[in-house]
Amino acid sequence: MATQNLDAPLGLRPVDNGLAGSVPRLEEMYANSVAIYEGDLLQLETNGQVTPCANVVTTSEPLAGVAANYLAAGTAGQGTTRVVSVYTDPFQRYVLQADDDDITATPAAIADFVGLNFDLVYTTGNTTTLQSKHELDASSGATTAGLPLRCIDRWKGIDNIMSAASPSDSAYLKFVVQIVFGKHYFGSGVSI
């Protein structure tokens, strides 16, 4: 009997150190009024507040990073206590589960993912676990610069099964991704 990957999206999770080589860099940032879930990809609004991404491809607002904690919905604005911790290093790598679309994983097929840019499946977080439910949109891989995430590699964790004998068992594979530098506010020329 073949073993399958679990469909358990947790958003983006830091998997190693960023550019500085130390622990992942966290910054507190002001948040808008909506709930933010741990693992949500966040964009920086023109007012300096962060909000979970709903559709990165069609917006010109840069990405701030990834939420490191849950923040319940509340009153937005600078000068309040409404802040969220954000992984802001533009070179930080994350592990992210792919949705099941177009995943018939073989070593050759996975090699085709590496180096491509991908969009997210934008989903509101889990209100019980308070975790993000963002997933990699596996069917969106392209060289398009406007897509927010670049696939670096397949996650090598023991819970990430790739089966050449039964490719359908490879659904919900996890990948190592990085925010596309030109989409991150450090690389887009936006200051806060």
Segment 113-131, tens digit of pLDDT: 788 888 888 888 999 999 9
Q: Sign of the CA dihedral 94, 179, 22, 30? A: negative
Residue among 71, 68, 70 at smallest CA distance from 14: 68
> What pLDDT, on a 0 to 100 scale, did the predictor assign at position 128?
93
First and final CA of the chain: distance in angstroms?
A: 53
Instruction: Assess contact for 183 and 44: CB atoms under 8 A.
Output: no
Q: Using 50 as the pLDDT threshold, list the residues of the chain that sit under it.
A: 1, 191-192
Quick one: pLDDT at residue 158?
63
What pLDDT was estimated at residue 3?
A: 58
Q: For position 110, what pLDDT does the model report? A: 66
Which helix (DSSP H) or strand (DSSP E) does residue 13 occupy? strand 13-14
Question: Tell me, what's the pLDDT at 169?
Answer: 57
Strands (E), 35-186: 41-44, 50-52, 63-67, 83-87, 93-97, 117-118, 120-121, 135-136, 149-154, 174-179
Integer Cα distance of 107 and 109 in angstroms: 6
Calculate the alpha carbon distances from 41 to 83, 90, 135, 159 in Å: 15, 12, 10, 23
CB 149 within 8 A of CB 111: no
User: Pseudo-torsion of CA 48, 50, 54, 60, nearest 10°?
Assistant: 30
108: CB partners within 8 A, 6+ apart: none
Angle at 132 between CA 158 and CA 140, to 5 degrees: 75
Write out pLDDT tens, residues 140-174.
877 777 788 998 877 676 666 666 555 555 677 78
pLDDT of 94: 93
CA atoms within 13 A on the CB side of 136: 33
